[in-house]
Structure 1
Amino acid sequence: MSAECRVGDIPSGYKQTEVGVIPKDWEVKLLGNTAILKARIGWQGLTTNEYLESGDYYLVTGTEFKDGYIDWSNCHYVTESRYKQDKNIQLKEHDILVTKDGTIGKVALINNLHKPATLNSGIFVIRSTENAFHPEFFYYLLCSNIFTEFLVQLSAGSTINHLYQKDFVNFTYKTPATIKEQISIATTLSDMDSEITALEERLAKARQIKQSMLQELLTGRIRLV
């Protein structure tokens, strides 16, 4: 459906808003009014000399983002004092992370958190205020072209290497008014992700079988005639 319609062209059950035509029971919201954004502040900045190869407290830096989640096996660690330094960036299940330095706009959803974890200075953690949105729904929203287009507009055609909080809080998004519908959308997309993962695993296995067969056929170990 096009972003803008003449009044007479708006389908029944929809309405025109500043961000386009949406269902009448959906809403337009501003990130700054619906979420708390936190990051490690400058004076707490970690140096790579403080990164540990093992420990009890994960450090998420952005390089561990993998397919929208955190690859915990690839994380560095920090000391207990560094972890406890800022409660605002002590990670919880279902936190949403967005990189704000370097390659900006990478997104990850926290799951399977089996050790305490904190952030370095290049990542925002996003948490809904007053149940304004379902975390997984908002995660998928940030994974979509809607967020990509927002970043493109911020760059105004130039390369940007930092996402400022003063800009990010102005991210405007469309959302179902009910958490129930948000959950339904997130569940559908999650099920599709699971199906894609299963298909990719089958494809990888088929490629391995083909590679083995190449060796057998092209060395004469298996004869077809």
Structure 2
Amino acid sequence: MVNDLAVRADTARRCAEAKFHFKDTDAGSIPSDWNAAYVEDLATITTGGRNTQDRVEGGDYPFFVRSQKVERINSYSFDKEAVLTAGDGVGTGKIFHYINGKFDAHQRVYVISDFSERISAYYFYLVFASNFYDRIMQMTAKSSVDSVRREMIARMAIALPSRIEQEAITEAVRDADALIDSLEQLIAKKRLVKQGAMQELLAGRRRLPGFDGEWHEAQLAKVAPLQRGFDLPNSRLEDGPFPVAYSNGVLNSHREYMVKGPGVVTGRSGTLGRVFFIDNDFWPHNTTLWVTQFNGNDPKFIFYLYEFIGFARFASGSGVPTLNRNDAHAYRVKLPPTRNEQAAISTVLSDLDAELEALDTRLEKARQLKKGMMQELLTGRVRLV
């Protein structure tokens, strides 16, 4: 895994800010020793020739359609370094891809390639992806863009530092990307570890040291029954110290509470399957179900047990999904013989959650670091050479 502290230190070392004069250009205000040029003077602009139905599951080559998802295909029309963007569809102006190799593309995907010696393809990708949406939004009176015309790309001005500085910028961004990728992979592995631990510990397949005795089986209605939450229109919300839990999480606070904490809440209508543990007194919204009593069970263990069960399985209704409480209450689960074992299991899982939370925080900081770094480097406010 890339050492994030080393990357940050190295980036900071190289990103010492220097004082330069700036000049106004079609690419905005840029350092006086940079140039600006239109995309049509830096690369060729064409489109693919395929349709979405040409995709092949598990095909040999990348197939770029009007989506952030890259499909596969068994043929290729291009073998080069290129930057691609969707010409229309959902996310127009926000979908970008960089590739160096064999690929194919949809007929409404723009392929920008054959770059001049004045610009690095990957540097172009960074500048283009960072600025193109703002450009096309300035060219429309609507709140969104339905399609991209060729001249929108062709007449976009690009800030051009020297090739040496372009390579330094792309290296710094790739370092940041490597850190982000490594953290994402580590988080994915940790989530698998937690999933495996839940499958073993919550089903009694593995016992923690110091515990024995037979597990017993019971219906959820006898373990920790659920009840519908309480109405709270937005017009009645008054900011206060008590969290308001909705089907998709704690999204507001209120000056009053309806339930003493700790509590366990899951979605009743709309978003199903997510389970939330709330330490303090709270207000469960009427889009939720909340545990009315724990019947001597460890509340945190019940939270993990209900998370493990997956309440989405009890969905009913063809329109807005609704959790069928009767089906949930009839579901049978196994429980450890003592509350102490429940607490020990919840402690193991809580420790794994704490690790994941810390990694998520590091990942978000890395993403913000990259975003801020790019804003500085691509405008010349911070120089690497």
After TM superposition, the score normalised by the length of structure 2 is 0.43
- 1:104 corresponds in structure 2 to 92
> Any residues of structure 2 matched to 1:85-96 within 5 Å, and which?
90-96=77-83
Query: What is aligned with 2:182?
Result: 198
Which of 138, 142, 146 is the matching residue for 2:124? 138
Asked whether 1:149 is paired with 2:134, we answer yes
Give the C-alpha shift of residue 136 in structure 1: 0.6
Quote the Cα distance in structure 2 between the aligned partners of 1:49 and 1:215: 39
Aligned to 2:31: 23
State the distance in 2 between where 1:57 and 1:21 align. 40
Structure 1 residues 129 and 51: CA distance shift in structure 2, 3 A: closer
Q: Is the alpha carbon distance of 1:153 and 1:57 closer, same or farther for their aligned partners in structure 2, counting shifts above 3 Å?
A: same
Give, in angstroms, the shift of residue 214 of structure 1.
3.0
Compared CA separation, residues 55 and 143, structure 1 to 2 (3 A): closer
What residue in structure 2 maps to residue 87 of structure 1? Answer: none
Pick one of 163, 167, 184 that aligns with 2:168.
184
Over 3 Å counting, the alpha-carbon distance change for 1:77 and 1:162 in structure 2 is farther
Specify the SS of the correspondent of 2:189: helix
Q: Would the aligned equivalents of 2:35 and 2:160 in 1 still touch at CA under 8 Å?
A: yes
> Tell me, which stretches of 5 or more residues in structure 2 are unaligned?
1-17, 209-340, 346-385
The answer to whether the aligner puts 1:34 opposite 2:42 as a matched pair is yes
User: RMSD of aligned C-alpha atoms?
Assistant: 2.9
Distance 2:36 2:50 in 1: 37
| Structure with bigger gyration radius | 2
Return 162-171 or 193-202, whichever deviates more. Answer: 162-171
What is the one-letter code of the residue matched to 1:104?
A: T
Query: Residues 54-133 of structure 1: matches in 2 within 5 Å?
Result: 59-63=63-67, 65-66=68-69, 71=70, 74-78=71-75, 90-102=77-89, 103-105=91-93, 106-111=95-100, 113=101, 116-133=102-119
The code of the aligned residue for 2:65 comes to: T
Note the residue ranges of structure 1 that are not aligned, 5 or more in a row. Answer: 1-10, 84-89
Displacement after TM superposition at 1:137 (Å): 0.5
Matched-pair contact (CA < 8 Å) for 1:35–1:132: no
Higher RCO, 1 vs 2 (CA within 8 Å, ≥6 residues apart): 1
Residues 77, 60 of structure 1: alpha-carbon distance in 2 compared, 3 angstrom cutoff: farther
1:8 corresponding residue in structure 2: none
Q: 1:93 is paired with a residue of what secondary structure?
A: strand
Relative distance call for 1:17 and 1:168 in structure 2 (3 A) is same
Identical pairs, percent: 26
CA distance change for structure 1 residues 60 and 133 in 2, over 3 Å: closer, same or farther? same
User: Among 157, 160, 169, which residue is 2:145 paired with?
Assistant: 160
TM-score, normalised relative to structure 1:
0.70
- Once residues 23 and 48 of structure 1 are traced to their aligned partners in structure 2, the CA distance between those partners, rounded to angstroms, is 43
CA contact (8 A) 2:34 2:159 kept: yes
Q: 8 Å contact 2:136–2:152 — kept in the other structure?
A: no
**CA drift at 1:92:** 2.6
Three-state SS of the structure 1 residue aligned to 2:117 is: coil
C-alpha displacement of 1:56 = 6.7
Report the CA distance shift for 1:34/1:183 in structure 2 as closer, same or farther (over 3 A). Answer: same
Deviations 1:31-62 (CA, angstroms, capped at 9, x unpaired) = 1222210114xxxx655565555777764324
Q: Distance in 2 between matches of 1:25 and 1:76?
A: 44
CA positional deviation for 1:125: 1.1
Residues in 2 aligned to 1:49 and 1:23: alpha-carbon distance in whole angstroms = 47
For the residues of structure 1 that align with 2:198 and 2:56, how far apart are their CA atoms? 43
More moved, 121-130 vs 212-221: 212-221
Post-superposition Cα deviations, 1:130-175, rounded to whole Å, max 9, x if no partner, equal: 312100101111222x222112212333332211002221212222
TM-superposed CA distance for 1:75, in Å, is 1.0
| Among candidates 192, 212, 237, match of residue 208 of structure 1 | 192
Shift, 1:99, TM fit: 1.3
The CA distance in 2 between the partners of 1:117 and 1:12, in whole Å, is 43
